[in-house]
Amino acid sequence: MAVQKDKIIIRGLSKTFYQKNKVVEVLKNINITVKENEFLVLLGPGQCGKTVLLNIMADLDKPTEGEVEFTDGRPEMGNLGIVFQRYALFPWKTVMGNVEVNQKFKGTPKEKRQQAAQKYIELVGLQGFENALPQALSGGMQQRVGIARAYATESDIMLLDEPFGALDAQTRYSMEDEILRMWEQDKRTVIFVTNNVEEAIYLGDRIILLGGHPTGVKKEYVPEMPRPRNYTDVAFLKLRNEIVNNTDLVL
Ligand SMILES: Nc1ncnc2c1ncn2[C@@H]1O[C@H](COP(=O)(O)OP(=O)(O)OP(=O)(O)O)[C@@H](O)[C@H]1O
Ligand SMILES: [Mg+2]
């Protein structure tokens, strides 16, 4: 594989929250380099600071120390593909309305933005549901809307915060395949957060294991198995054991 260039460099990043009478040190000295077009998984237990880290990357929060460098320049606000842990859809907007929303804020003409939105609605397999409201959709379908909305920003960086965490197991497996299919079809730099070790191994080009108190990078793993990976392969199980033995994840 060709050498990929550095896309995002997280340097010496720490985050401490100062509350009324306590200091919460969440992240300490995180150093991660994300390569262009790689599928990077951040794997860590609940409450370890994954969302805090993603929010800092998205410029929704500031680090206490350190920095996040985007080698091609920081994407403009509203121009970063981000999928939130909860679906975060506008309940009064249709599927089309939700997917096109960032372009609408930016003032892209209606026809142009709806054309782009249509492309991503089809990419996530929701054609025919353009006029449906979120309440009429299953959890998996709502999360597809969230993913289409992130893709429709046309950002070449996608931040996904436990996007499948609220889905039932069967839907989760099929969404894992879907997100890989989309990534193959429309290559972007993906940072995918999860607390699920199997999901991390199934998806990742590279897995960054987070842990400790405060949270730091514990170790990095590169699954060598070709895709599609098989949960019951010996190599898969071996890597799973290796990660589990090195983690404070509750499994
Ligand atoms: N604004 C804030 N003020 C104070 N503490 C905060 C704030 N935001 C987050 N925290 C604390 O930071 C820690 C990490 O939170 P975060 O939501 O990033 O965890 P997480 O790894 O995303 O967890 P989960 O897997 O449950 O989503 C938590 O202990 C949380 O209470
Ligand atoms: Mg979180």
Domains of the chain, each with CATH number or no CATH: 1-77+155-163+187-251 (3.40.50.300), 81-154 (no CATH)
Q: Convert the pLDDT of each residue in 119-164 to its tens digit.
A: 999 988 899 999 999 999 998 899 899 999 998 988 899 999 999 8
Residue 57 per-residue DSSP state: H
Q: What is the pLDDT confidence band of residue 1, given thresholds at 50, 70 and 90?
A: low
> Using N-to-C axis directions, what is the helix angle for 169-185 and 139-152, rounded to 10°?
20
Retrieve residue 249's tokens. Answer: 């994840």
Contact status, residue 49 vs residue 15, Cβ threshold 8 Å: yes
> Can you tell me which atom of ligand 1 is nearest the CA of 19?
4
State the pLDDT at residue 2: 64
For ligand 1, atom 3, name the residue with the nearest CA.
17
Atom 24, ligand 1: residue with shortest CA distance: 46
Q: For a pocket test of ligand 1, which of 16, 17, 215, 248 has the largest count of ligand atoms closer than 8 A to its C-beta?
A: 17
Nearest residue (by CA) to ligand 1, atom 28, is 47
| Residue whose CA is at the smallest distance from ligand 1 atom 14 | 49
DSSP letter for each residue of 178-230: HHHHHHHHS--EEEEEES-HHHHHHH-SEEEEEETTTBEEEEEE---SPSSP-
Q: Check residues 7 and 82 and name the one with the higher pLDDT.
A: 7
pLDDT tens per residue, range 37-69: 999 999 999 999 999 999 999 998 999 999 999
Residue nearest to atom 30 of ligand 1 (CA): 47
**For 196-211, what is each residue's pLDDT tens digit?**
999 999 999 999 999 9
- Find, among 240, 222, 211, the residue nearest to 50 by Cα: 211
Q: Is the pLDDT of residue 250 over 70?
A: no
What's the pLDDT at 249?
Answer: 56
Taking a C-beta distance cutoff of 8 angstroms, is the pair 156, 191 a contact?
Answer: no
| pLDDT category of residue 11 using cuts at 50, 70 and 90 | very high
Q: Is the CB of 213 under 6 A from ligand 1?
A: no
Q: Pick the residue with more confidence: 248 or 39?
A: 39
What tens digit of pLDDT does each residue of 91-119 get?
Answer: 999 999 999 998 898 889 999 999 999 99
CA of 46 to the centre of ligand 1 (A): 9
- 251 pLDDT band, cuts 50/70/90, is very low
Instruction: Name residue, tokens 């609605």.
Output: 121
Region 223-229 average pLDDT: 95
* Pocket of ligand 1 contains residue 24 by CB under 6 Å: yes
